[in-house]
Amino acid sequence: MGTPLWTTEAAAKTRGEWKTEYVRPGEVPFPEENPYTTEKVNLGHKLFFDPRLSGSDYISCATCHNPSFSWGDGLPTGFGHKMTKLGRRTPTVLNSAWGELMMWDGRFESLEEQALGPMGAEAEMNQELGGIVEELRAIPGYRTLFNVTFPGEGISIANIAKAIATYERTIVSGIAPFDRWVAGDETSISTAAKRGFDIFNNKANCVSCHSSWNFTDSGFHDIGLPDDDIGRGGVVKNMVKMQHAFKTPTLRNVVQRAPYMHDGSLGTLKEVIDHYSEGFTKRESLSDEMKPLNLNDDEKADLLAFLLTLEGADPVVAAPVLPANDQVPGAWLQRLSPAAGGQAETAECRTARLHLRRCK
């Protein structure tokens, strides 16, 4: 027998060493294929809040991804077109710039793909994707915004997705007491929360999936919830471990996002801790990381105290003013504005046109 090439044994890290693994990143990552621009963020902000992106014109991205509920909806499972009850809880879009493979089951490769998924899904926003381009082209303000944001390209499905994805990447959790503690302020969290941090990383081993500053590995794991949803198993069909596996959600601002889990079946963080401690279903697909923890009440309370320190001071999100539907009969456009036909127009001309006056 030779010396093994690797070992699974690792020396226990100190609290200080663990803290270094949770330092916030200095900047938001944007992909080469869709780099950041201020114009894209502004346009994506409007599109994200615009219900005209749904077939019914009453559901926007923000209807379910509501900033008031930490970019979720506060419901066990979401509601879609004609109040269709959806099968899974609405995931937050918080910190999605750092994500990999979108949705609970990872069926979309990127945020750009994800942005179009719910929009086109019959049960969700029920928007015919080919039709949305024409609908937006009929709105003068959007013609202008797209022309400014994507010069020479204008309105297209791809550019709608790029703008929404860019806006979503700017949705980042604010500085939390935990971050101040990691940065060196020992007074920013309680002694109980510090003990909870130790439990999180050691005895409870939550860190095996809820890792790094965003508290997620972006991975897929069966955590033993007893429902019939096979999750990622519907996408990756050749691995038992992907049956009932769902994406690890971030824990940033987690206190704002009850109820919990992909099916919204656990109402409080205490119930979540109880589930991981001793309440999960054992089956072949169960993640290797899931082991009974048998935490006592003091340890559970410490863990909860720690989770509460992840609530950040997030910026207030303003609802944008959306471009108005066209008020002007098509035949009047040339008379009222030189900007007709999809060309950029000045704010003065736009205001004039909407009030049925000539633009100078």
**C-beta of 140 vs 219, nearer to other proteins:** 219
User: Can you give the binding site for other proteins, defined by CB under 8 A?
Assistant: 5-6, 8, 100-101, 106, 109, 208, 211, 217-221, 232, 236, 238-242, 245, 288-289
**C-beta of 17 vs 128, nearer to other proteins:** 17
- Least distance (Å) between residue 87 CB and other proteins: 21
Are the C-beta atoms of 204 and 295 separated by less than 8 Å? yes
d(CA 153, CA 169): 22
- Least distance (Å) between residue 220 CB and other proteins: 6
* DSSP 8-state secondary structure symbol assigned to residue 276: I
Residue 342 is encoded by which pair of tokens?
């999809």
- Least distance (Å) between residue 345 CB and other proteins: 42
Residue 51's alpha-carbon distances to 132, 144, 156, 267, in angstroms, are 12, 19, 18, 29
**C-beta of 9 vs 297, nearer to other proteins:** 9
**C-beta of 70 vs 216, nearer to other proteins:** 216
In degrees rounded to 5, what are phi and psi of residue 289?
Answer: -80, -15
- To which H or E segment does residue 140 belong? helix 140-149
Are the C-beta atoms of 351 and 328 separated by less than 8 Å? no
- Least distance (Å) between residue 106 CB and other proteins: 7
**C-beta of 163 vs 242, nearer to other proteins:** 242
- To which H or E segment does residue 114 belong? helix 111-120
d(CA 209, CA 179): 19
